[in-house]
């Protein structure tokens, strides 16, 4: 465990710290987890993937999970509590890269392996394994702009302000937008990645009477389709993620044109695998590992076949259907759905 390393850091005991860092930890390991969005299906799948992979690995005897709705200040506190608890590694989904940099640096100095999942961080000693968020946005936006004929206006429904994933997606969205000078943004809004909030936001915009030709969403998608149907608004092309509810809609809602871009919440399980590899002395060649997305559009035979093959009505509508990542996760569907970690 890492209590001696943390104490050395706090007291400035350079000799003790150097000695502790020089010796590798031996398993089984305790892994800390820090997440700042609760009640969102994607994040819940991420937590379940962390638990399932920790259990399936056979190398983790305990998870110390801080999973709540909070901001960067709250996450900073959570991370310092994990450091104080003496965990061997921390898997973190950052609320704000700059806001938690100090704690990540402290963790590294305490000899703790830090792996950021889903989003990037600015602390150079941390490892990152993430879905390629810029490419996620670019693929979906390009498809949307092409589908509306290269001209018109779209509703741009972003994630959480300040989150690095949102910033990366904004870069990808604007990269695609630059390729289509006749496409404009009719309305831009932050959903906070909250289903109820996103649905109300699109209903409010529909009520404004302003015209729009398509909707790009940052993973809040099935409720957007629900809003269009319930308000009897003519269906426009919609881009979302590979969430089970949206994938099902793309294969069943008559007249709906749409595309799902893969963004597996199972990246949390991949973060556990990477942390264990590093703890066991197998560091990756690069500090950052990206998982590239695919796009499944129901406007082509190939895309529809991909959607039908991926559809899984047994999953929560808010869970991505990509419940595993080849080469990175080893748990079964039963294990991730059970959402049980070591000792539970």
What average pLDDT score do residues 316-331 get? 96
Residue 86 domain-assigned? yes
Question: How confident is the model at residue 288, as a pLDDT?
Answer: 95
Tokens of 203: 């209903």
What average pLDDT score do residues 188-202 get? 96
Residue 300 domain-assigned? no
pLDDT surpasses 80 at 300: yes
- Helices 195-208 and 222-230: crossing angle in degrees, nearest 10, is 40
- CA 123 to CA 49: how far, in whole Å? 24
- CA 156 to CA 166: how far, in whole Å? 12
pLDDT surpasses 80 at 187: yes
- CA 250 to CA 134: how far, in whole Å? 23
Do 14 and 89 reside in the same domain of the chain?
A: yes
CA angle 155, 159, 162 (to 5 degrees): 125
- CA 177 to CA 152: how far, in whole Å? 12
Phi/psi for 166 (5° steps) reads -65, -40
- Domain termination site, one of 243, 261, 279: 261
Do 212 and 155 reside in the same domain of the chain?
A: yes
Where does 145-294 show beta strands of DSSP type E?
152-158, 183-190, 214-217, 238-241, 258-261, 288-291
What pLDDT digit, counting tens, does each position of 249-285 carry?
A: 999 999 999 999 999 999 999 999 999 999 999 999 9
Handedness of CA 123, 278, 291, 118 (dihedral sign): negative
Residue 308 domain-assigned? no
pTM reported for the whole predicted model: 0.87
Do 223 and 104 reside in the same domain of the chain?
A: no
Do 119 and 163 reside in the same domain of the chain?
A: no
Look at residues 158, 146, 165 and name the one whose alpha carbon lies nearest to residue 93: 165
pLDDT surpasses 90 at 93: yes
- How confident is residue 27, by pLDDT bands cut at 50, 70 and 90? confident
Where does 93-142 show beta strands of DSSP type E?
113-117, 127-131
pLDDT surpasses 90 at 73: yes
- CA 181 to CA 200: how far, in whole Å? 29
What pLDDT digit, counting tens, does each position of 101-120 carry?
A: 999 999 999 999 999 999 99
Tokens of 138: 């670019």
Task: Sort strands 152-158 and 214-217 into parallel, antiparallel or unpaired.
Answer: parallel
Cα distances (Å, whole numbers) of residue 304 to 139, 224, 249, 257: 17, 20, 11, 11
Residue 236 domain-assigned? yes
Residue 297 domain-assigned? no
Question: How confident is the model at residue 15, as a pLDDT?
Answer: 30
Question: How confident is the model at residue 213, as a pLDDT?
Answer: 98
Do 92 and 20 reside in the same domain of the chain?
A: yes
User: Percent of the chain beyond pLDDT 70?
Assistant: 93
- How confident is residue 24, by pLDDT bands cut at 50, 70 and 90? low
Do 115 and 140 reside in the same domain of the chain?
A: no
Do 165 and 280 reside in the same domain of the chain?
A: no
Do 217 and 276 reside in the same domain of the chain?
A: no
Residue 331 domain-assigned? yes
pLDDT surpasses 50 at 7: no
**What is the total count of domains within the chain?**
2
Mean pLDDT of the chain: 92
Q: What is the DSSP letter of 28?
A: S
Do 148 and 89 reside in the same domain of the chain?
A: no
- How confident is residue 8, by pLDDT bands cut at 50, 70 and 90? very low
- CA 68 to CA 34: how far, in whole Å? 9
- Domain termination site, one of 261, 278, 305: 261
User: Percent of the chain beyond pLDDT 90?
Assistant: 89
- CA 34 to CA 75: how far, in whole Å? 7
- CA 50 to CA 219: how far, in whole Å? 20
Write the CATH number for 334.
3.40.50.2300
What pLDDT digit, counting tens, does each position of 110-168 carry?
A: 999 999 999 999 999 999 999 999 999 999 999 999 999 999 999 999 999 988 999 99
pLDDT surpasses 80 at 241: yes
- CA 115 to CA 104: how far, in whole Å? 9
- CA 340 to CA 336: how far, in whole Å? 8
Do 83 and 70 reside in the same domain of the chain?
A: yes
Question: How confident is the model at residue 20, as a pLDDT?
Answer: 33
Question: How confident is the model at residue 39, as a pLDDT?
Answer: 85
Do 139 and 238 reside in the same domain of the chain?
A: yes
Q: How many other C-beta atoms are found inside a 10 Å radius of the C-beta of residue 151? A: 12
Per-residue b/e over 78-108, b at no fewer than 16 CB within 10 Å?
bbbebbebbbbbbbbbbbbbebbbebbbbbb
Question: How confident is the model at residue 5, as a pLDDT?
Answer: 38
Residue 303 domain-assigned? no
Task: Sort strands 238-241 and 89-92 into parallel, antiparallel or unpaired.
Answer: unpaired
For residue 211, give its domain range. Answer: 133-261
pLDDT surpasses 90 at 212: yes
Cβ atoms of 30 and 115 within 8 Å: the answer is: no
Tokens of 163: 């989150």
What average pLDDT score do residues 172-186 get? 98
Do 236 and 193 reside in the same domain of the chain?
A: yes
- Domain termination site, one of 261, 277, 308: 261
Residue 304 domain-assigned? no
Helix (H) and strand (E) counts for the chain?
13, 12
Q: In what order do the strands lie in the sheet with 288-291?
A: 60-67, 29-35, 89-92, 113-117, 127-131, 288-291
């Amino acid at each position: 465990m890492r209590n001696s390393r943390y104490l050395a850091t706090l007291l400035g005991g350079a000799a003790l710290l150097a000695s502790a860092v020089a010796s590798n930890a031996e398993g089984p390991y305790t892994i800390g987890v820090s997440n700042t969005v609760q009640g969102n299906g994607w994040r819940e799948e991420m937590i379940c993937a962390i638990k399932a992979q920790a259990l399936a690995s056979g190398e983790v005897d305990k998870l110390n999970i801080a999973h709540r709705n909070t901001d960067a200040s709250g996450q900073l506190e959570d991370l310092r509590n994990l450091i104080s608890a003496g965990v061997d590694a921390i898997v973190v989904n950052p609320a704000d890269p700059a806001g938690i940099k100090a704690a990540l640096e402290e963790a590294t100095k305490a000899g703790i392996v830090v792996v950021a999942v889903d989003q990037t961080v600015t602390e150079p000693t941390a490892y990152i394994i993430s879905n390629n968020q810029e490419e996620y946005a670019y693929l979906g936006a390009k498809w949307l702009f092409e589908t509306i004929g290269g001209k018109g206006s779209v509703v741009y429904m972003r994630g959480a302000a300040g989150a690095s994933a949102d910033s990366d997606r904004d870069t990808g969205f604007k990269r695609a937008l630059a390729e289509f000078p006749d496409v404009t943004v009719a309305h831009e809004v932050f959903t906070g990645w909250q289903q109820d909030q996103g649905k109300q936001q699109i209903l409010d915009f529909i009520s404004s009477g302003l015209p729009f030709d398509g909707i790009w969403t940052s993973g809040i998608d099935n409720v957007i389709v629900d809003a269009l149907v319930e308000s009897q608004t003519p269906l426009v092309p919609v881009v979302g993620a590979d969430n089970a509810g949206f994938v099902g809609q793309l294969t069943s809602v008559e007249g709906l044109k749409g595309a799902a871009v893969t963004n597996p919440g199972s990246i949390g399980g991949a973060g556990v695998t990477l942390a264990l590899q590093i703890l066991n002395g197998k560091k990756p060649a690069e500090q950052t590992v990206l998982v590239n997305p695919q796009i499944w559009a129901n406007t082509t035979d190939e895309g529809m076949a991909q959607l039908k093959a991926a559809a899984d009505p047994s999953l929560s509508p808010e869970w991505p259907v990509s419940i595993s990542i080849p080469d990175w996760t080893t748990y079964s569907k039963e294990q991730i759905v059970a959402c049980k970690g070591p000792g539970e």
